[in-house]
Structure 1
Amino acid sequence: MRRPLAFLALLATGCVDDSEAKSPTEDPPAEDTAPAEAEPEDTDTSPPADTGPPEDSGAPEDSGAPPVPPPAVVSLAIDDALAHEDGGETARFRLVLDAAQEADLDVPLTLGGSASPDDDFILMLDGAPIASSVTIPTGATEVTLVLVPLPSATMEPTETVTLTVTPTELLLAADGADIATARIVEHGPSNGSTYYVAADGDDAASGDAVTPFATIAHAVSVLRAGDTLFIRDGVHTNSNYVAEHGETGDSGIRHGVLAKIDTSGEPGNWIRIAAEPDGNEARPVLRFDGSGGLQVGAGVSHIIIEGLEVEGHNAEITYDQAMDHRWSKENYYIGRGIFTWGPADHIVVRDNVVHHTPGSGIRFNSSDYILVEDNVVSNTTWWSSSAESGVVIATAQSIDTEEVVKILYSGNTVYNNWNLLEFCLSEFEGSDEDAYGNCDHYTGGIIDGQGLYVTRNNDTYAHGRMRFENNIAFNNGFGGVVYHKTDRGELANNLVFMNGAYPGISNYSGLTLNTANDVVIVNNVVWSRDDNDYGVKENGPTSDVITGHNYVVGRTQLLDETVDVVVDYADAPALGDLFSNAVDIEALRPDPHGTGSGIAPADVDGLLTDLGLDFALRPSASPLVDAGTTDRAPNADRRGVVRPQGSAVDVGPYEVEQE
């Protein structure tokens, strides 16, 4: 049989198996001497017998397509989870493959979180911005993504950036390693020395982790710009602190502040004073019986205070003791938690618990660029005769001409802050004039003891805006939120619930404006204490007030009922239909004398705690869910849940999470 030349060439290379080919040494076949006998034709027309499927030779079928490689497995990790807007310190994500690939691999990413791309940050790879995917080059096993915060003058809450790996046919995410979150904070880093304080330390020691200082007062005196002070768990007190102050409350009542911060940080190099990150839920307790817990000194700036518990002596003071000292105002009866008389600027107070201080829990006078975030302030101002409130901004002073939000109070919980004494102003001592400030003769009653209070800023704060967002204020003495003699404000997504626990003779315990101009009020829930109570009140001249998408139970002024919802107290829905666990607390009013059927001030807190109030919205809370506006709404709720989750922003400080 003749073969084509091409076939013979392949045969010579061994690329073809020819069973008919003969060895060169094999004898040639004999010549045919006669034609072969012809086989008879097959005349059988029946179907062939079924012999079953052909045998499997074991060789794979050749489809002509290259084999599909198994999917690559990628892990998303985070090396530096914190980006600092001041100073531009970046956060870093890493994408790590289980093995290098023979071709470039595209990794699709989904970007989420409360921070806005291009406004708050840029995500970069090798110096170039990226958007929705990253390419891992051939032969590489990992790449690093850099989150660069973008600075702005606007004071913002802590924001988040979340990356999620999106699987494809060629890519799988490792279990538990498909998502990572970084945070962006307003302040700068603290890259200097780190010191420690412990209750059993020694102020003569070096202050390092092994030999910590003993007192916070000494420790803050050695701090310089960029330094960090970690305070260990335990009870830390002011100098000369005593637990007992005599039956009449006259012993040891002139002590000073627990610690005063007189050294500033710098832009991009802040001083940080914080609880040691030891992994447990306990906080170091700063307990004082003097003029206060932590005071920020005059001219100080760029300070962070976070993670502490600051405790005063309200529970030990009696009404009779406080009355006897209403005019003399010794430190024991007026001490404040975290405070400054200013001037001060660029101060962050975050995640602190401040309670039972006779004066204000957190107070800033003559300040600018202030962030008060995620604190709990409770049971303060009971025995002060200085007209104080739980959280206060007073006589603010702008340090530049920026017209943005520079003072922000976000995500705080403020409750049980009452004035049980009337305001005593020294110039009226001995007078019988019926005037505010003459606590012995004024007939107007108590009008202080607010939850969140902004006051007397019109004449001092020439530039900038103030903003309250995602706060909860309940069972405070007078109003939940009071915006007084202050212009350029924003009140968004707050809950003001059944305040007016000790309101004197007034009946406007919700949200009050007095001599305020250019104020925006949106997405708030305001719930009056009873059917005679004002939820929203105009208690003095106002102008340029914009409202919308507020939900108010009770009497009201100021609001535009074409864009706000106002419900009569008697027609309000059941609290359990709206909130996870909320009940009527109208009866939880303090009796400063603690006699008869009244509740002693020190007992109200326990009763309130036992209720386990939880104001998170139920998904079925139709008057509030998807009923807000995105205009001026914070990007996330008080837990960090991004807004909106549904078709619109929810009203109040919580957003209902949706799949």
Structure 2
Amino acid sequence: MKRTGRYVLSALLAGAALPLGVAGSPPAQAASRTYYVSTAGSDSNPGTSPSKPFRTLQKAADSTAPGDAVSIMNGTYTERAGGSDVLAISRSGRPGAPITFQAHPGHHPVINPLTGWNGIRVSGASYIVIRGLEIKGDSENISLAQAEQGASTRKPKYNTNCLSVDRGATSHHIDIIGNTVHHCPGGGISAIDADHVTIDHNHVYGNAWFSVFGQSGISILTAKDSDAGDGRTYKIRITANTVHDNETRVKWEHCQCYSDGNGIIIDTLKGHDYKGRVLVANNVSYDNGGSGIHSYKSQHVDIVHNTAYQNGRSTRMDPYANIYAQDSTDVRVLNNVTSGRPGQPTNSQHRDVDVTYDYNVYYGGRAPEVKGPHDIVADPRFVKPGTGAGADFRLGKGSPAIGTAEPFPAVTTDITGAGRAGGAPDRGAYAFIRNGTAPSAAPTMVGTDNGSPQNPLATPAPGQGARPSAGTSASPGNDVRATGDGESLARTGANVVVPLGMAAAALALGGGIIFLIRRKRS
């Protein structure tokens, strides 16, 4: 993804989970209030009750303080003037008291940018949660001919991003959870120059068609450390997202060539020497124009337990592989399942240093450029592979992906929240359903986003895994808080392993966390 102007598409956050007794009691929450917004409201209302809501999202956002929430009621929300954002978030929460933007219980609001640069833009703000919203762009009402004729870096109509964390001041601790993000001419979810970003359980599709900035479905570009970084500790997490039909159909203005349109890309982290680690896990990425998932010019990235199917669909550019790293350092590509298009590349070793491929299943496409000792070339036997609405990428009986993965302590559940079986887990985003039921929950590893250095690949000794916390779930309705300081966060299955000295406390009081994001250029 790229953007040279002020309005860059992005998305960000991060968080962590520690059991009580390990980190102590969570910090006390500041007194907070909820602001309500309705298309039937008025900005002259107090906005503090459902009966007297504000009319605009911006009025509510500009009224918030740390710990507050904005509860968005039914209606379609568009920008107030051409070129503006529907919602620009510039006020920050603080540790233990994020500012939350979410759908009102039982309601389904739609944020619908038509002529603005962004549906939602986070600009220099931190400790923000964006949860349970639909952001819908206008691509279905734009033709390719119109976009090619009107393509310009100055026209937001053809470049509108759904949800963007803006370039500039380093925004950090941003949770983007359980949203539906689709049909924006620009990017879907993107974070630029950000840190501590979590993008979890979102459905991202039909984006990036008409932008001249080379966008993608989910992208992390030029991340910057907002605090001390460590290549063994996750600070950015992209987890359990379903991403498809994102494609670049207009030339990127930088080179007058076609580029990107990826499902998920981690982009140019080496150039800024980003020191934190990135986890991309349990995602399903299919039928995108560029790659399914890849690391480009980046470092400290784990791409683990993902499923990618027939990406690289664009006929406008050289095909990208399904899941791979390019020009990257310290990357692990493990336990994934990919099914490629005939004749297209399967992975890459171009200018890579310390990049490990292993325990992956490859099918279709050309022979892998690099193949780990436990990689398999075989039909993964998906239940119902395809690119339509009825596609089902769960593993069918007899799949070579069943029970053949390497245990990865940071990923103990699958995309649905089902626990991965003990012993050798299943490869890909889905755990195999055995005897009509999902596997029992595997031990949930406990980690801290800001804790001492941890080895994400370390396998705990027998008996050192923490028991799952009561109520552990991967649903987008989790109480996700953008604090990063040890409070309970979304327990979605990807957790940094607890240091061994903390294992006894973890055994009695377990908890979990997860999180994740973009790109390639040849």
Letter in structure 2 aligned against 1:582: P
- Does the 8 Å contact 2:431/2:439 carry over to 1? no
Deviations 1:554-586 (A, max 9, x none): 32445434211124xxxx36xxxx223223x4x
- Alignment CA distance shift 1:558-1:150 (3 Å): farther
Q: Distance in 2 between matches of 1:219 and 1:521?
A: 42
The answer to whether 1:199 aligns with 2:39 is yes
Q: Does 1:256 align with 2:84?
A: yes
**Deviating more after overlay: 511-520 vs 262-271:** 511-520
Q: Aligned partners of 2:297, 2:35: CA distance in 1, in Å?
A: 42
Q: Tell me the TM-score normalized by structure 1.
A: 0.60
RMSD value, Cα: 2.3
**Is 1:498 equivalent to 2:310 in the alignment?**
yes
Give the superposition deviation at 1:235: 1.1
State the Cα deviation string for residues 433-465 of structure 1 (Å, max 9, x = none): xxxx134xxxxxx23111101111112143111
Any idea what the Cα deviations from partners look like across 1:71-107, whole Å, max 9, x if unmatched? xxxxxxxxxxxxxx979xxxxxxxxxxxxxxxxxxxx
1:226 aligns to 2:67 (yes or no): yes
Q: Is the 8 A contact 2:324 2:333 kept in 1?
A: no
The residue that corresponds to 1:616 in the other structure is 394
SS in 1 for 2:59: helix
Report what 2:460 is aligned to: none
Aligned residues: 415
1:209-224 paired onto structure 2 within 5 Å:
209-224=50-65
Whether 2:269 is the aligned partner of 1:457: answer yes
After superposition, residues 260-659 of structure 1 pair within 5 angstroms as: 260-278=88-106, 283-289=108-114, 290-298=116-124, 300-342=125-167, 343-403=170-230, 404-425=233-254, 437-439=255-257, 446-530=258-342, 532-538=343-349, 540-553=350-363, 554-557=365-368, 559-567=370-378, 572=379, 578-583=381-386, 585=387, 608-609=388-389, 612-618=390-396, 620-631=397-408, 634-645=411-422, 647-656=423-432, 657-658=438-439
In the alignment, residue 293 of structure 1 is paired with which amino acid? G
Q: How far apart, CA to CA, are the structure 2 residues paired with 1:151 and 1:464?
A: 25
- Give the secondary structure class of the aligned counterpart of 1:199: coil
> Take 2:224 and 2:108, find their aligned partners in 1: how far apart are those partners?
33
How far has the Cα of 1:189 moved from its partner?
Answer: 6.3
Contact 1:487 / 1:518 at 8 angstroms: preserved in 2? yes
Does structure 1 conserve the Cα–Cα contact (< 8 Å) formed by 2:420 and 2:431?
Answer: yes
Rounded to whole Å, the distance in 1 between the matches of 2:51 and 2:103 is: 16
SS across alignment from 2:225: coil
Which TM-score applies when normalising by structure 2?
0.75
Amino acid in the other structure paired with 1:295: R
Displacement after TM superposition at 1:149 (Å) = 7.1
Q: Distance in 1 between matches of 2:40 and 2:393?
A: 40
Alignment-mate amino acid for residue 234 of structure 2:
V
Between the aligned partners of 1:187 and 1:615, the Cα distance in structure 2 is 41
Change (3 A) 1:295 1:319: same
Structure-1 separation of matches of 2:241 and 2:28: 22
Contact 1:549 1:627 in 2 (8 A): yes
SS of aligned partner of 1:239 = coil
Describe the superposition over 1:214-246 as per-residue Cα deviations: whole angstroms up to 9, x where unpaired: 111111110111101100122111104xxxxxx
Distance (whole Å) between structure 1 residues aligned to residue 130 and residue 147 of structure 2: 30
| Mapped partners of 2:15, 2:408: distance in 1 | 26
> What does the per-residue CA deviation read over 1:513-536, in whole Å, with 9 as the maximum and x for residues that have no partner?
221000011110011012x11121
Q: What is the CA–CA distance in structure 2 between the aligned matches of 1:422 and 1:367, rounded to whole Å?
A: 26
1:564 and 1:507 map into 2 onto residues whose CA distance is 22
CA positional deviation for 1:187? 12
| CA displacement at 1:632 relative to structure 2 | 5.0
Aligned to 1:95: none
CA distance in 2, matches of 1:374, 1:265: 22
Partner SS state of residue 283, structure 1: coil
- How far, CA to CA, are the matches of 1:86 and 1:339 in structure 2? 19
CA offsets, 1:483-530, max 9 Å, x none? 101011000000111011214242333123221000011110011012
Q: Is the contact made by 1:509 and 1:529 (CA closer than 8 Å) also made in structure 2?
A: no
More strand by share: 1
Task: Write the distance in 2 (CA, Å) between the matches of 1:338 and 1:204.
Answer: 27
Which whole-Å CA distance do the structure 2 matches of 1:324 and 1:195 have between them? 42
Go from structure 1 to structure 2 and tell me whether the alpha carbon gap of 1:223 and 1:365 turns closer, same or farther (over 3 Å shift). Answer: same
**Aligned CA distance change for structure 1 residues 454 and 324 (closer, same or farther; 3 Å):** same
Contact 1:389–1:450 under 8 Å retained in 2: yes
What runs of 5+ residues in structure 2 fail to find an aligned partner?
Answer: 1-13, 433-437, 441-522
The residue identity in structure 2 corresponding to 1:212 is P
Q: Give the Å deviation of 1:643.
A: 1.9
SS in 2 for 1:536: coil
Question: 1:135 maps to which residue?
Answer: none
Amino acid at match of 2:300: R
**Deviation string for 1:98-147 (max 9, x for gaps)?**
xxxxxxxxxxxxxxxxx8xxxx425xxxxxxxxxxxxxxxxxxxxxxxxx
Alpha carbons of structure 1 residues 151 and 390: separation in structure 2 relative to 1, 3 Å: farther
* CA distance in structure 2 between the partners assigned to 1:221 and 1:555 by the alignment: 53
2:24 and 2:355 mapped to 1: Cα distance? 30
| Shift in alpha-carbon separation, 1:658–1:407, aligned structure 2, 3 A | closer
Q: CA deviation at 1:374?
A: 0.2
Tell me how far apart the structure 1 counterparts of residues 198 and 85 of structure 2 sit (CA, whole Å): 22
Q: Which has the higher contact order (CA 8 A, sep 6+)?
A: 2
Contact kept? 1:329, 1:385, Cα under 8 Å:
no
CA contact (8 A) 2:420 2:439 kept: no
Structure-1 residue corresponding to 2:511: none
Displacement of 1:325 in angstroms is 2.0
Q: Percent identity?
A: 27
Gaps of 5+ in 1: 1-84, 88-114, 123-147, 153-185, 241-253, 426-436, 440-445, 586-607
Which has the larger Rg?
1
Change (3 A) 1:334 1:623: same
Kept in 2: contact 1:367–1:396 (CA 8 A):
yes
Q: For residues 175-199 of structure 1, give each alpha carbon's deviation from its aligned partner in whole angstroms, at most 9, with x where no partner exists.
A: xxxxxxxxxxx99968511111111
Instruction: Write the distance in 1 (CA, Å) between the matches of 2:334 and 2:410.
Output: 8
Q: Is the 8 A contact 2:325 2:355 kept in 1?
A: no
